[in-house]
Amino acid sequence: MRGAGRMPTAAPIGAMSRPPRLQTANGGRTRRPSRPSNEGCVPDDAGLDLQPIIARNDAMKIAITGGSGFVGLAAAEALAARGHDVVILDLAAPPAGFWSHPAIAGARFTRADICDGEMLAQVFAAERPDVLLHLAALTSNEAMERQDAARIVAVNVGGTATTLEAAARAGCRRVVALSSIAVYGSRRQDFGDIDSLDETMPPCPDTLYGITKQAGEAVAHRLAELHELELTVLRLGPIFGPWERPGEARPDLSPHAQILAQPAPRLASEMRADWLYSRDAGQAIAAVVDTAGLGGKTFNLGAGSLSTPHEWAAAAGIAAPEIAPDAPTVTSRIPPSRPPLAIERLRSAIGAAGTRPITDAAADHMVWLASVNMKPPHANG
């Protein structure tokens, strides 16, 4: 039976130790001279200690679809820090304040539409990536479902097929594809009988986003079989932190980002969930990329612990948001009845998983906000 919202105890998370920069066969990578170095950008005492699990000793070229987005930039940051050649593929480059950030120095941008097979064929033929990190998707809400259902299906399912086909034809043989906790659904009757959601739980999506992510998984697995691709699927849980911003592809921000944007935020509820700090998500994704032998496997990518936006705000020195169920200004699509993600399978595969303590996440988050001139309107002090 589910035990009062408790999760299995997460393994201790150590200080992040950045691995030595990996070198290409010709002795190094070409960097854009106008971009500053990323040395010293991430605090040495933050995040996951993932250095011991790196399984490859050569730098790789990683193409990231949806790379200008929230998770894409978090992954680009982590992969660039590991010495990889990062190519961001998206409809538009990241906003100037993000693109000039030293944490993604060395990453390159190439315009690409995942629904345009001809464009993708040209991009992949030119770049010849070693690994495709497929993150592009429309993270739709109910309003988008009502207004643009066909486009959601076209991007999340059709775009997945188009992207994997183009990558395979260009000789790419490794794919890491991002799915979602939404595939498990939000209104299942058996949620009350379990403490956490593991990867053996049959999918039962009840939103168009969840339905298309499940379909995208199935399409990816079939294409991996047809084209002999080494495919790894990651089901991402609730996430917040650096690189988040509003956009058409992701209309609903995390409660944390909503709090940052409002002078007097009011929450609909406590919103306790397994909130994963974005930089830790990026580190875990990079660890999967750097770990051989994960083809054909599906992993949950979650926090491994529970927290609330209120706890994060207190740790960040932000005025405590009011809980006002009748008149909220901050909302969340995370249903309170849904158990958190189990992450033991991912921890076993890459040697570490989960997220840093909320106090550490809040401190790092505030430093990052200052680095992009995004001070909260109601910060204390």
Residue carrying the six token digits 């949620």:
191
Q: What pLDDT shows up at residue 379?
A: 58
**Residue 309: what pLDDT?**
96
Determine the distance from the C-alpha atom of residue 240 to the mean position of all C-alpha atoms in its chain, rounded to a whole number: 9
Type of residue at 74: A
Q: For the chain, which residues score pLDDT lower than 50?
A: 1-57, 381
- Which structural domains are found in the chain, ordered by start? 51-241+277-304+339-356 (3.40.50.720)
Q: Using alpha carbons, list the distances in angstroms from residue 167 to 25, 123, 127, 158, 255.
A: 23, 9, 10, 14, 35
What's the 3-state SS for the chain? Answer: CCCCCCCCCCCCCCCCCCCCCCCCCCCCCCCCCCCCCCCCCCCCCCCCCCHHHCCCCCCCEEEEECCCCHHHHHHHHHHHHCCCEEEEEECCCCCHHHHCCHHHCCCEEEECCCCCHHHHHHHHHHHCCCEEEECCCCCCCHHHHHHHHHHHHHHHHHHHHHHHHHHHHCCCCEEEEEEEHHHHCCCCHHHHHCCCECCCCCCCCCCHHHHHHHHHHHHHHHHHHHHCCEEEEEEECCEECCCCCCECCECCCCHHHHHHHCCCCEECCCCCECCEEHHHHHHHHHHHHCCCCCCCEEEEECCCCCECHHHHHHHHCECCCEECCCCCCECCCCCCCCCCECCHHHHHHHCCCCCCCHHHHHHHHHHHHHHCCCCCCCECC
Which pLDDT tens digit goes with each residue over 77-87?
Answer: 999 999 999 99
pLDDT at 34: 35
Residue among 75, 68, 60 at smallest CA distance from 29: 60
pLDDT at residue 167 in the model: 98
The tokens describing 300, both together, are 């949950």
pLDDT, position 315: 97
Neighbours of 155 (CB within 10 A): 23
The pLDDT of residue 46 is 40
Token representation of residue 223: 């294409």
Predicted pLDDT at 380: 56
